[in-house]
Structure formats: C-alpha cells, structure tokens
Structure 1
Amino acid sequence: MSAKIIDGTAIAAKLRAEYHLRVDDLKARHGVTPGLAVILVGDSPASRSYVRNKIKACQQAGIRSDLIELSSQTPEDQLLERIYALNDDPGIHGILVQLPLPPHIRVSSVLEAISVEKDVDGFHLYNMGGLVTGNTVFSPCTPYGVQKILEHENIPVEGRNVVVVGASNIVGKPTALMLMQQDATVVICHKKTRDLGHFTLLADILVVAAGVPNLIVPQIVRTGAVVIDVGFNRLPDGRIVGDVDFEGVKEKASYITPVPGGVGQMTVTMLLHNTILSAERYATGTQRAGMR
C-alpha cells in the first residue's frame, strides 16, 4: 500500500480563506480589526524568518500585525514592561514573543506576563493547565494544527491508540492531552525511550515531534497507521526533513504528512485562528476580564 500524502499547505490555505471571511465580518459588524503584536528579541536569522512568515500570513488574512524588534541585550524587566503595555492596548488582541530568547531572559517570566486573553500561542500556565481540564482559552498552535489535520481528513480519534513521540511542552505533551480529551488512548514516548518500536507498533495514529531525523523507520510503524510528522530538522546539506523516514514509511502507512508541506503551515494558521478568536471575544464582550 502507499499512504495518502496529507497536503498541509492546501488545508492551511482553505482555513485561511475561511478566517479572512471572519475578519471581514468583524470589520463590517463591529469595526474591529484583529491585531497581533510580535516581539522579536535579538537578530537570530531563524527567528527572523519565522516572524517574517507569521507577519506575511497576517497580512494575507487581513490581520494587523505590529513587529516590535528589541536588542538581544534588552533587560528582562524592559521586555516585561512592553508586554504589560500591550496587555492594556485594546487594538492588540494577540501577543507573541518569538522563542528562543537570550539566556538572561527567563522564558517562564515572559510567558506568564502575557495576558491569558492575548496568549494566542497558548503557552501561558493557565492555558497549559487548561489542557488537562479541557478549559483552555487558547490551544497551543502546533498541537491544534495536528488536531485540525485529523479533522480535515476525517480520521477518527475516539477509541484509537495514539503514540506521541516527543515530550516537549510546546508539542508533545499538549498534543497528547488534546487527543486524550477526544477519548483516544495515548502513550507518550521520546527519543530516549527504550524499545521505541514496542510502543509505536501499537499506534493507530503516530505523532512524531522528537527532533531526530529518521527516528521513525518502517520497521517500527504499524501497517495502515496514520503518521503525523511534526519534526523539523535542517541537514548539513541544507535539506529540511522531519523525524520520519518519509519514503520508507509512506509505503506502510495509510496517511502521512510530508516535511516540509505538512504541519508547519498549520501552526501559523492556528495562530491566525487564535488571534481572530480573541478579537471576536473582544468585539462581543465575552473576554475573561482581568486574567493575567
């Protein structure tokens, strides 16, 4: 068999077209333009590239985007003051601080400073904790993108065995919690798991986000499994690959996402969704006032 290759770029384009209509409706009915503030600390080429892609996506969706560029030497307290000012700005509905940050700035302090109502990345402690109870204000963008891919392809989650390889706070853990909320049976593994294949061979749905090229080979994938590759690895020759041996595994899986062209575009798309949702809540007065 040969897997259906899931076109994440096409799914993202479809969703973004729908989101643009929601932005137009917000402007027409409430006079509100969704606004996203993006804070870039330092001049990392990779971070700058990610930010550029996010701002371009905002422009295409009709979302206002404000780029705030700060020196890598910016003290933590100055960064926090900028965040607090954005929390109080009614024209800004989402705040994103591009990670990683310089070593002298504590990521935990920055993420906690962002108002829960504007935490469109979904990284605030309230949102992360809400994944356990099913009561988040915003879902983290990459796990939400994985969920949307499964929904688009009509892949059932309820009652399925799901194995998530990768235990990061950004992808692995929240993905597992979100799929548990849909009544999947979830196992979390990582790159140091002994006998990894013992677990992955049980997976009806295999989500891989470990950051290790070719970690998942055909021998440890169940025939007919759905394989979602969230890995993003740049090889010495400049090629971008995921964590899955794509050419080998696609001959065994039923569905598979490519890298690039799979989950990556969905991550940015969910950022747009969360920003628009925040603006809709502001326009209709349904925000949870005072939460920070």
Structure 2
Amino acid sequence: MEKLMLGKPVADKISNELINKVKTLQKKPNLAIVRVGEKEADIAYENSAIKRIENVGMTWESHKLPEDVSEELLIKKIKELNNDNGVNGILLFNPLPKHIDAKKIGSSIDPLKDIDSLNPINMAKLIYKEEDAFVPCTPVAAMEILKHYGVKLEGAHAVVIGRSTVVGKPISLLLLDEHATVSICHSRTPNVEEIASKADILVLAIGSPKFADENFVKEGAVVIDVGINIDDEGKLSGDVDFDSVIDKVSLITPVPRGVGSVTTAILAKHLLRAYELQEASN
C-alpha cells in the first residue's frame, strides 16, 4: 500500500551505511546493555538491538541485574561501564523498578556513552543544538522516516500528542529544528481532537491503543504512530485506529513494521558516533 511508511527500507539504508563504516575501523564499537529484571518488552528489544548490532559488525555485552537491585549497586555498575574504555555506549532499559530514582540513574551515565539520551545533559544539548548531543532513538527514528519518504517539514503544522522525555518532548524539538510549527497536546489538553484534526503532521506517543480515530485526522495528513500496545483482542496496536484513518491520511507508519523497526538502526548509528567522539577526545 502506497500510503504506508514502512520502517524496513529506512533501517536497511542506515544499516548498510554503518556496515561500510565499521569495516574501516581497527576496533569495533562495543555496546553495554544494562537490564533490570525480566520484563518481556525489555527482553524483546534487547534481542532486536543485539541482532542489529551484530548485523552491522559491532559488538555487545549484557549486564543483567535482579528486579530488587539497590539504587547504589545499579549506579556502581553504570560507573564501572563509564570508566571502561572497552565500552562505547550504554543502553539502560526503562522504566526502572519504583524503588529506583530513574532521574538519578540517568544522570549517572556518561553523556558521551549515553546513546539513548537518559542523561539530562543530552536533552540540554539538544535544546542548544550541540553537535555532540545524543537524542532518544525513537524520535530520531521517526524523523528519519519522515525524511526518507519526502515529507515536507518546513512550514508544516505538526501536532505531537504526548509529552514524555523519551518521545514527545524531543520529537517536538526536532520538528522545530526543521522549521515546523509545533503544537503539543497531553492529558490536560481539553480539545485534543480539534487541534489534531488541523495537523499536517500528526505524531502520537502516549501508549493508548487506538486512541485516535478518523476525527483526529484531517484529509491528507501524515501520521507517525509511535505507540506499541496490546489491544482488547490481544493484538499489537498503535495509538492510532489504523483502519479508521487509512482512507483519510496521505502517509502513515503502521504498527508493527513502522517506527520500531528503525529504532535499533538509530541505536547502532549512535553507538558508532559515540565511538568516534570518544576516539576524537583521547
């Protein structure tokens, strides 16, 4: 279907570029994966990340910690990885258990190894458009899809539903950097449907299955669906009611096979960039 913005062509293009670059390196970039507990979603993403990292010729190591790990021990592990010259990037799975202060943990990651942007320093660097900023992988993946499919961003009205630091806020800043006019909606916005229905580009990242139907979408809009949910029938679903909006949109990312399939490619791209920044600073 021509309306679908599939992630695979985007991911493949990024991966092929990485393969060619990694071949020229004497030392292969190495990713440290830190997982607390045994959540199915974390394990699934870990497996996807490992597959991508291996496919582009880079290496990885896994550090699994129990669900009841103390904050002190988790910070100790991260500091060990910060100080390990054999580690170029750190991927820490979120959300963390409730007894752990996620902000404190994120702040303990070396900004130059923080390839999924959990350290607030990297968010500040994004705001100031610093070249060495790491932006969360998912919003970068969404932007890569928009560019790959030739979506005009300059002058477009983009509406982002969701204000998380993982997707909503950073993708709003990335869209601003491309000269879009951005509106952000959230749980306290009284007229979300009305605002969304005026968007040229609609981005949903709230984790609510089939939240947006055809009333949220104007004719010819471009829709980026970041949500990954399980619907009432036990099927994988995005934040958009796909069947309801498909006749109105000009382009849309499906769930699955959309943004999620590009995210691991961006992770690998960030790992290579972290390696290059660290090599340059040595």
Gaps of 5+ in 1: none
Residue 75 of structure 1 corresponds to which residue in structure 2? 70
3-state SS of paired residue (1:253): coil
TM-score by length of 1: 0.92
| 1:119-268 matched pairs, under 5 angstroms | 119-135=114-130, 137-268=133-264
Cα distance, 1:79 vs structure 2: 1.2
| Cα distance in 2 for residues equivalent to 1:165 and 1:217 | 13
CA RMSD of aligned residues (A): 1.5
Asked if the contact 1:3–1:256 (Cα under 8 Å) also holds between the matched residues in 2, the reply is no
Cα distance, 1:156 vs structure 2: 1.5
Asked if the contact 1:3–1:250 (Cα under 8 Å) also holds between the matched residues in 2, the reply is no
Q: Deviations over 1:256-290 (max 9, x none)?
A: 0000000001111111110011112233x1x4x8x
Identical pairs, percent: 37
Number of equivalences: 281
Q: Deviations over 1:123-145 (max 9, x none)?
A: 21111122222125211101101
Cα distance, 1:235 vs structure 2: 2.1
The yes-or-no answer on 1:66 pairing with 2:65 is: no
Asked if the contact 1:214–1:245 (Cα under 8 Å) also holds between the matched residues in 2, the reply is yes
Asked if the contact 1:3–1:252 (Cα under 8 Å) also holds between the matched residues in 2, the reply is no
| Cα distance in 2 for residues equivalent to 1:228 and 1:45 | 25
| Cα distance in 1 for residues equivalent to 2:2 and 2:248 | 7
Q: Following TM superposition, where does structure 1 have runs of at least 4 consecutive aligned residues deviating by more than 4 angstroms? A: none
When structure 1 is superposed on structure 2, of 245-254 and 186-195 the one drifting more is 186-195
Residue 8 of structure 2 corresponds to which residue in structure 1? 9
| Cα distance in 2 for residues equivalent to 1:272 and 1:20 | 10
| Cα distance in 1 for residues equivalent to 2:258 and 2:187 | 21
Gaps of 5+ in 2: none
Equivalent of residue 41 in structure 1, options 31, 36, 42: 36
TM-score by length of 2: 0.95
